């Protein structure tokens, strides 16, 4: 029994040991995170470091001292963080000025030039230089920064700060005991706000080139949100993005441009190409360095991602420089990029991928260090997506393409095939242009289908600037266009009735026509997955489009069942004719052998009217969903 207990205890140890080791490993990994290179913009509201542990609740050993407490608007003051005893060094800090009770905005601006290069400014709440943090995790005795008071109104402000002594020992969200009283100065000149720049002619020219064509002949993604929409090309002091990437398919070239409002020559802007919206195992292109001539190089986020560094790997793999410059505090880097594979990471410009934008204040030949700000694109893109991410895209050509295809295949093709199958002995005395009623309506519907399909195809080729296969919709689209064109040519080769080749023609015509119809409807269904179409935005159910389309397909099938039963009944009522059960035989419906009007004309007229009404209403609804204005999204930065 004793031995048995020992075995049991040993078994428990073996089962428990992996759990303990796993916990220890996770804890060890978590302790290397945090923000050694300074707090990112994302923690401005909480002012909490990413250390996983809780802040200290005991007395704060650090203090804030100010050079004055009463200021005029735009007046500058010193703010110093230091140890109360002079013996407690600190490695990190975060400092802001807010109004009492206002946790959603920081006020005033900090000077970007900080003593001994120990600090860097932040863009808290999308306001440039509204926060300040450390630049490295070296021990500091004290640090002094300069703050410029806002000049909007007479108001009181308070200084909020967090200080980090060590990884597990920090004090957060403390408030300086003395309020700042700011009086508005009516004689002070208004400074440029946020992303406004005092631009030289060369800088204005570069910015207009970058923003020109966004959403039309190239795609653009910038931060903060809606900064591209807010750019005014006619202004001498335009509001610009803090960082931005553009992409364009120009002939056989895949062109990209990275830009950033850096305010420091020793910084970088980078874009990662990822299959998800998170960093790790991504191919990256970074641009930066020190001096007037930046460098463009390939980097990699390994699968075991180190938040403090992105490693250089095959510096020029798949990229070719076009232009690079540092102009008046702004970084511009253009390059060509081809498909490539790096460290088992494959990148294809034609496959949907996320863009990961980042900027940082430290760049070296060996890698890109901790970013000061970053953000993923909210959706995937391919090289031919000429859209403005985060803005209302210019998609009228896409909407026109979609509308034409819906009308072509849901309304025209469906109606033309419906009439040809069930209405050959309806209104036989009506002969438009000397042709049978059913034949005239069938030709009109199918010719309209082919015409609208070709027009829709040309429109989307113009929009996408060529033919690219990135998903099922494109493959099916090419197939349906080919079948439609083939069907037109076959129709012109139609043999006369009662000739030996007529049955073969009927089967080929029926087979191609039905195949094209099925592929066309399926292609419309797959449009719901396209980001440019944006068909997932209606109601609470993202599949509204699919449900409407499915309802129309089921209605179409039901009407065929009803009309097949009616045709069987009608044929049996007629004394002439040999093929009494033709409506139940798969394939093209054989002639009845009768030339007179079939019984049930009123019923067939009613059913045709009902069919046209429902299919037209469904097609119009889907076209309306395509053209419906996109719902205004909440600004995530608000």
Contact between 166 and 62 under an 8 Å Cβ cutoff? The reply is: no
Pairing of strands 92-98, 155-166: antiparallel
Question: Peptide bond before 224: cis, by omega within 30 degrees of 0?
Answer: yes
Cα–Cα distance list, 130 to 126, 143, 153, 334, 447 (Å)? 9, 17, 17, 30, 64
Helix, strand, coil percentages (3-state) for the chain, rounded to 5, are 35, 25, 40
CA angle 328, 333, 336 (to 5 degrees): 165
Domain map (residue ranges) of the chain:
1-30, 41-183, 201-376, 396-627
Spatial strand order of the sheet with 243-250 comes to 219-223, 243-250, 253-261, 330-337, 319-327
| CB contact set of 74 (below 8 Å; sequence gap of 6+) | 148, 149, 150, 151, 185, 188, 189, 191
The tally of CA atoms less than 13 A away on the side-chain side of residue 598 is 22
The predicted structure's pLDDT at residue 504: 87
The tally of CA atoms less than 13 A away on the side-chain side of residue 22 is 5
Contact between 417 and 514 under an 8 Å Cβ cutoff? The reply is: yes
Class of domain 201-376: mainly beta
- Report the C-alpha gap between 204 and 332 in whole angstroms: 12
- Report the C-alpha gap between 488 and 494 in whole angstroms: 10
CA proximity to 409, closest of 339, 342, 369, 456: 456
Tell me the two tokens of residue 194.
């946020």
Contact between 547 and 535 under an 8 Å Cβ cutoff? The reply is: no
- In CATH terms, the fold of domain 41-183 is Immunoglobulin-like (2.60.40)
The predicted structure's pLDDT at residue 450: 92
Environment class of 111 (CB within 10 Å of its CB; exposed 0-12, middle 13-18, buried 19+) = middle
Tell me the two tokens of residue 11.
């078994």
First to last CA, the chain: 68
- Report the C-alpha gap between 608 and 602 in whole angstroms: 10
Predicted TM-score (pTM) above 0.85: no
* pLDDT more than 70, % of the chain: 77
- Report the C-alpha gap between 297 and 286 in whole angstroms: 6
Phi/psi of residue 452, nearest 5 degrees: -65, -35
Spatial strand order of the sheet with 76-83 comes to 62-66, 76-83, 142-148, 109-110
Could you tell me the maximum CA-CA distance found in the chain, to the nearest angstrom? 114
- In CATH terms, the fold of domain 396-627 is 1.20.120
CA angle 270, 47, 149 (to 5 degrees): 90
Residues of the chain with pLDDT below 50 are 1-34, 191-198, 305, 307-308, 392, 539-541, 631-638
pLDDT in tens, 53-107: 788 888 899 999 999 989 998 888 999 999 988 888 998 899 999 999 888 899 9
- Report the C-alpha gap between 180 and 22 in whole angstroms: 50
- Report the C-alpha gap between 555 and 309 in whole angstroms: 59
The predicted structure's pLDDT at residue 168: 84
CA angle 51, 54, 59 (to 5 degrees): 120
Per the listing, tokens 């953000």 go with: 375
Q: Cα 398 from chain centroid?
A: 16
CB count in 10 Å sphere of residue 27: 10
The predicted structure's pLDDT at residue 12: 40
- Report the C-alpha gap between 370 and 288 in whole angstroms: 14
Cα–Cα distance list, 632 to 392, 582, 629, 638 (Å)? 9, 55, 9, 14
Contact between 359 and 329 under an 8 Å Cβ cutoff? The reply is: no
Radius of gyration of the chain (CA): 34
Tell me the two tokens of residue 579.
């093929």
Phi/psi of residue 417, nearest 5 degrees: -70, -35
The predicted structure's pLDDT at residue 18: 39
Tell me whether the CATH fold assigned to 41-183 matches the one assigned to 201-376. Answer: yes
| CB contact set of 552 (below 8 Å; sequence gap of 6+) | 410, 614, 615, 618, 619
């Amino acid at each position: 029994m004793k031995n048995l207990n020992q075995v049991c205890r040993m078994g428990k140890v073996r089962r428990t040991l992996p759990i303990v080791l796993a916990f220890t490993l996770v804890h060890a990994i978590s302790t290397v995170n945090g923000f050694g290179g300074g707090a990112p913009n994302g923690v401005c509201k909480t002012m909490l470091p990413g250390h996983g542990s809780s802040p200290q609740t005991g007395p704060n050993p650090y203090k804030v001292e100010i050079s004055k407490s009463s200021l005029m608007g735009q007046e500058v003051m010193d703010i110093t963080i230091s140890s109360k005893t002079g013996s407690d060094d600190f490695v990190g800090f975060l400092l802001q000025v807010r109004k009492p009770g206002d946790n959603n905005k920081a006020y005033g601006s900090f000077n970007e030039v900080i003593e001994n290069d120990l600090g860097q400014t932040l863009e808290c709440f999308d306001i440039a230089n509204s926060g300040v943090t450390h630049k490295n995790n070296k021990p500091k005795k004290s640090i002094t920064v300069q703050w410029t008071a806002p000049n909007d109104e007479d108001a009181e402000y308070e200084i909020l700060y967090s200080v980090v002594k060590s990884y597990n020992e920090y004090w957060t969200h403390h408030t300086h005991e003395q309020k700042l009283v700011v009086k508005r100065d009516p004689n002070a000149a208004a400074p440029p706000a946020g992303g406004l720049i005092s631009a030289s002619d060369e800088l204005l020219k570069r910015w207009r080139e970058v923003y020109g064509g966004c959403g039309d002949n190239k795609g653009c993604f910038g931060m903060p949100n809606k900064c591209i929409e807010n750019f005014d090309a006619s202004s001498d002091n335009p509001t610009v993005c803090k960082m931005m990437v553009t992409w364009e398919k120009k002939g056989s070239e895949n062109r990209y441009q990275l830009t950033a409002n850096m305010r420091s020559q020793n910084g970088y802007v980078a874009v990662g190409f990822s299959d998800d919206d998170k960093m790790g195992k991504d191919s990256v292109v970074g641009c930066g360095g020190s001096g007037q001539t930046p460098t463009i190089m390939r980097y990699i986020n390994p699968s075991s991602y180190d938040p403090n560094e992105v490693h250089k790997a095959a510096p020029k793999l798949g990229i070719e420089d076009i232009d690079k410059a540092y102009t008046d505090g702004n970084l511009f880097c253009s390059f060509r990029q081809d498909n490539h594979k790096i460290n088992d990471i494959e990148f294809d410009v034609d496959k949907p991928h996320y863009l990961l934008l980042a900027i940082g204040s430290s760049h070296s030949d060996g890698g890109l260090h901790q970013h000061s700000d970053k953000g993923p694109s909210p959706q995937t893109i391919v090289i031919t997506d000429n859209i403005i991410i985060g803005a209302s895209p210019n998609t009228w050509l896409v909407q026109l393409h979609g509308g034409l295809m819906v009308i072509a295949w849901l309304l025209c093709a469906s109606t033309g095939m419906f009439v040809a199958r069930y209405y050959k002995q309806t209104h036989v005395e009506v002969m438009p242009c000397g042709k049978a009623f059913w034949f005239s309506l069938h030709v009109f519907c199918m010719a309209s289908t082919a015409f609208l399909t070709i027009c829709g195809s040309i429109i989307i080729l113009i929009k996408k600037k060529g033919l690219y296969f990135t998903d099922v919709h494109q493959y099916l689209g090419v197939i349906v266009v080919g079948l439609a064109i083939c069907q037109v040519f076959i129709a012109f080769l139609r043999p006369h009735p009662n000739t030996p080749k007529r049955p073969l023609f009927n089967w080929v015509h029926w087979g191609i026509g039905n195949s094209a119809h099925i592929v066309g409807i399926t292609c419309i269904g797959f449009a719901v997955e396209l980001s440019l179409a944006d068909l997932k935005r209606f109601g609470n159910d993202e599949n509204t489009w699919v449900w409407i389309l499915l309802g129309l397909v089921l209605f179409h099938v039901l009407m065929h069942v009803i009309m097949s039963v009616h045709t069987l009944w009608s044929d049996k009522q007629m004394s002439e004719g040999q093929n009494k059960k033709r409506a139940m035989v798969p394939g093209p419906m054989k002639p009845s052998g009768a030339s007179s009007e079939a019984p049930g004309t009123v019923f067939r007229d009613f059913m045709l009217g009902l069919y046209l009404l429902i299919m037209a209403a469904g097609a119009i609804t889907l076209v309306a969903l395509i053209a419906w204005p996109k719902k205004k999204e909440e600004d995530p930065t608000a």
